[in-house]
Amino acid sequence: MTQPWILMCPPDYYGIEYEINPWMSRSRASDAETTRAQWRALHDVLVSVGAKVSLLEPKQGLPDLVFTANAALIYRQTAVLSRFRHAERQGEEPIDEAWLTAHGFTVRRLPPDIYFEGAGDALFCGDTLFAGYRIRSHARGHQLVGELIGARVIPVELTDDYHYHLDTCFCPIAPDTAIYYPAAFDEYGLQALRAHIPNLIAVEREEARRFACNAVVVGRSVVTNTGCPQLHAALKDRGFEPHETPLDEFVKAGGSAKCLTLRLDGEDAAAWRTAPAAREA
Ligand code: ARG
């Protein structure tokens, strides 16, 4: 098995410069020094649990470029590039595209009228791509992504503006296991999750708002923001190894551990990661 490979972007130009989700308020600025320390600590935990971390060069004027989960959806050597709903983030697209191309990915784009926010809204659990829509990504975009990469897509509507990306309320941690925050979905979405995923770990509202579901999975290690003790206990019961690291400066922008990473070699929960490539044919 190859070493887990993650893309991060240092927070040199990170800040709360606009408001595109309910977490963000220009009156609640981030502190540059704490931001750097928190980002570095996350980076170091990921390295300590076995990941190789590559870096995207930060760019002035693109404060949310740190949230590399939104760059693209990765499927084997294909990267389906994001098309951001908000103009404030659209300048990230060419930067993500250039990096992914330079690192050997075949970059695919969706039609211009379709919004799609990458691994922030589309997550594999087993061989199925779970896809959050309405607030950032279009349901139609997810169907097109499924056709592009030949995967079954289960679209789920996001109903809570504080959980505007699927990765803020849902996190597959193994091909048959996921963390979720039930109140962020409608009845149909809940049924879909329950019908397709045998083991679901529910988190309570308080921990969901601490971004408990925004976890980075590296093997059996699961890394989250601080303040998620119930989730961590549930993970330990199931044989996972939870880690916490403070990410409050990024919560001010509506992001946490998972948002700050893009898994380049396939998430541990994606069945295709370990399946022989021949199965594709
Ligand atoms: N401020 C960013 C936005 O609103 C945060 C992105 C968080 N990323 C994520 N994958 N949930 O777009």
CATH at residue 108: 3.75.10.10
Domain count, the chain: 1
In a domain, 213, yes or no: yes
In a domain, 56, yes or no: yes
Residues with CB under 6 A from ligand 1: 20-21, 24, 64, 67, 69-70, 89, 120, 165, 167-168, 253-255, 259
Asked if residue 58 lies in contact with residue 10, where contact means CB atoms within 8 angstroms, the answer is yes
Ligand 1 pocket: which of 9, 19, 21 to mutate (most atoms within 8 A of CB) = 21
Atom of ligand 1 nearest to the CA of 117: 10
Active site positions, annotated:
165, 259
In a domain, 273, yes or no: no
Per-residue pLDDT of the chain (281 residues; tens, 9 = 90+): 689 999 999 999 999 999 999 999 999 999 999 999 999 999 999 999 999 999 999 999 999 999 999 999 999 999 999 999 999 999 999 999 999 999 999 999 999 999 999 999 999 999 999 999 999 999 999 999 999 999 999 999 999 999 999 999 999 999 999 999 999 999 999 999 999 999 999 999 999 999 999 999 999 999 999 999 999 999 999 999 999 999 999 999 999 999 999 999 999 999 999 876 644 44
Please state, in angstroms and rounded to a whole number, the distance separating the CA atoms of residues 204 and 10: 31
**What is the extent of the structural domain holding 139?**
5-263
Nearest CA to ligand 1 atom 9: 259
Ligand 1 midpoint to CA 168 (Å): 9
Please state, in angstroms and rounded to a whole number, the distance separating the CA atoms of residues 127 and 80: 17
End-to-end C-alpha distance for the chain, whole angstroms: 22
In a domain, 274, yes or no: no
In a domain, 280, yes or no: no
Atom of ligand 1 nearest to the CA of 89: 12
Q: What contacts 71, CB < 8 A, 6 or more positions away?
A: 7, 56, 79, 81, 82, 92, 96, 99, 100, 118, 119, 262
Ligand 1 midpoint to CA 212 (Å): 15
Burial state string for 82-119 with b = 16 or more CB within 10 A and e = fewer than 16: bbbbeebbeebbebbbebbeeeebeebbbeeebbbbbb
In a domain, 275, yes or no: no
Ligand 1 midpoint to CA 259 (Å): 6
Atom of ligand 1 nearest to the CA of 168: 11
